[in-house]
Structure 1
């Protein structure tokens, strides 16, 4: 997820300071993508530099409140950027490289690597993750924010797809070598 755009979305709800943004980001993502507070402030600095957020001008010196916290507000340029982000579909090419795909591609082409063992180890880890996610889903109740439920659902769907892909990898690798290009 784009931390930059996530912070803009949270700021579109009103003034926030760094720790609030961090807590709300983590709550919205069911704490599955924890943020380092340094990352939050670095991102805020870049957003401010780019004119997408500004310091709250109602605060004291340097936009700080009475407790020394800097509150940020989204600018009109920031709202425009957020609107563009929401309107643009996410492309597969925009997502980070999949380490598991790279690992298996390298395992297949590296002499002496037991590819079946790599797949078995991943399958076990993915199954444990799937079980944990399913338990986590059961702990969510009706009062849980839809955002949290959607995040956990997405992670479950990804784990299930990974299991199916691992099955496919085993099947492809089990074919006689003349069938494998």
Structure 2
């Protein structure tokens, strides 16, 4: 829904073709969520099917296809209504998006042989590294002193990434404490140690030891 609505909102600023829409979207979000141009045109086709955008036609300079022959699209009145509803309706939290890390941990704690503590530590290191990168970006470049609307948009996206990373680190700390307590209470599987018979080797002498 977010890509669909964002494209409609951008088209409210004037007719564009798919490559322009992709560039405008990535400019405003700092290419945090890169778009495949095929995805853009697929979304445009669906928007056209639903009566929310239409091909630009006519002989006027504003209405004609661009000089490279790209098909231009513009938002319809119905599309403007959907954009208005998007901006005035809270993002629902009743169906949260799938979180790969939460799913991974949920599965890991139910399976024998998985070193969940190591998983948490590795993820914390990776998330901390990402947090440092986001913080560095906030101090440098166009996000450090946003004097254009596009720069402010990118700065706000960076803020979101920073807050998400900080929250994930706090959650991982919480998970580590819960896992430690569960292990003490015997509620957590411990990683299975490989036996000699299960270790593959190309050395016959080693295999006999």
- Does TM, scored on the shorter chain, surpass 0.5? yes
Cα offset, 1:88, TM superposition: 1.3
Work out the CA distance in 2 between the residues paired with 1:65 and 1:21: 14
Q: Which runs of 5+ in 2 are unaligned?
A: 189-209
> Could you report, residue by residue, the CA deviation over 1:46-67 in whole angstroms, capped at 9, with x for unpaired residues?
001100001112369xx63442
Residue matched to 2:204 = none
Residue matched to 1:38 = 38
Q: TM-score, normalised by structure 1?
A: 0.92
Q: 3-state DSSP class of the match of 1:73?
A: strand
Task: State the Cα RMSD in Å.
Answer: 1.8
Equivalent of residue 161 in structure 1, options 161, 167, 172? 167
Distance 1:138-1:59 versus aligned 2 partners, 3 A rule: farther
Q: 3-state DSSP class of the match of 1:93?
A: coil
Q: 3-state DSSP class of the match of 1:54?
A: strand
Cα offset, 1:178, TM superposition: 6.4
Work out the CA distance in 1 between the residues paired with 2:92 and 2:20: 30
Cα offset, 1:142, TM superposition: 3.0
**Contact persistence 2:146–2:155 (CA under 8 A):** no
Work out the CA distance in 1 between the residues paired with 2:45 and 2:34: 19
Aligned residues: 178
Residue matched to 2:17 = 17
Q: For 1:1-181, list aligned pairs within 5 A.
A: 2-58=2-58, 64-139=65-140, 140=143, 141-144=145-148, 145-175=151-181, 176-177=184-185
Moved more, 160-169 or 84-93: 84-93
Moved more, 79-88 or 123-132: 79-88
Q: 3-state DSSP class of the match of 2:47?
A: helix
Distance 1:59-1:25 versus aligned 2 partners, 3 A rule: farther
> Could you report, residue by residue, the CA deviation over 1:15-45 in whole angstroms, capped at 9, with x for unpaired residues?
1111110001001111101000000000000
Distance 1:126-1:92 versus aligned 2 partners, 3 A rule: same
Work out the CA distance in 1 between the residues paired with 2:52 and 2:25: 18
Distance 1:85-1:69 versus aligned 2 partners, 3 A rule: same
Work out the CA distance in 1 between the residues paired with 2:103 and 2:36: 27
Cα offset, 1:74, TM superposition: 0.4
Q: TM-score, normalised by structure 2?
A: 0.80
